[in-house]
Amino acid sequence: MTKSHEEITLTPISDTPSTMNITGLWRVVKPVVDKEKCKKCTICWKFCPDAAITLVDGEPIVDLRYCKGCGICAFECPSKCIIMVKEGEQ
């Protein structure tokens, strides 16, 4: 059965980054958060499969050493305030 955002326990799906494998090296695109539009809803943090997002005062901060550029955070963000940009472009 599919759960709504509110029904998911307040924890990231993955709580351990690939510390033995710097997955950020795989990335060709990276997420950029528009802080002005971010509603601090925590959904991107919950869905990141590599625990690459931490929350600082509710604001998502991406650790690019581990972000593999999958785009799940951008897809799941209900405010559409995460865009994926090519490495070196922004």
Tell me the C-alpha distance between 16 and 50, whole Å: 7
- Asked whether position 68 contacts ligand SF4 by CB under 6 A, the answer is yes
Candidates 13, 38, 54, 83: give the one binding ligand SF4 (CB under 6 A). 38
Contact, 49 vs 90, CB < 8 A? Answer: no
What are 51's two structure tokens? Answer: 């625990």
Tell me the C-alpha distance between 86 and 40, whole Å: 24
Q: Which is nearer to ligand SF4, 40 or 86 (CB)?
A: 40
- Asked whether position 17 contacts ligand SF4 by CB under 6 A, the answer is no
Candidates 72, 86, 87, 90: give the one binding ligand SF4 (CB under 6 A). 72
| Alpha-carbon dihedral sign for residues 32, 36, 37, 40 | positive
- Asked whether position 42 contacts ligand SF4 by CB under 6 A, the answer is yes
How many residues does the structure list for the chain?
Answer: 90
Count interface residues toward ligand SF4 (CB under 6 A).
26
User: Which residues of the shown chain bind ligand SF4 in the complex (CB under 6 A)?
Assistant: 31, 33, 38-44, 48, 50, 52-53, 60, 62, 67-73, 77, 79, 81-82
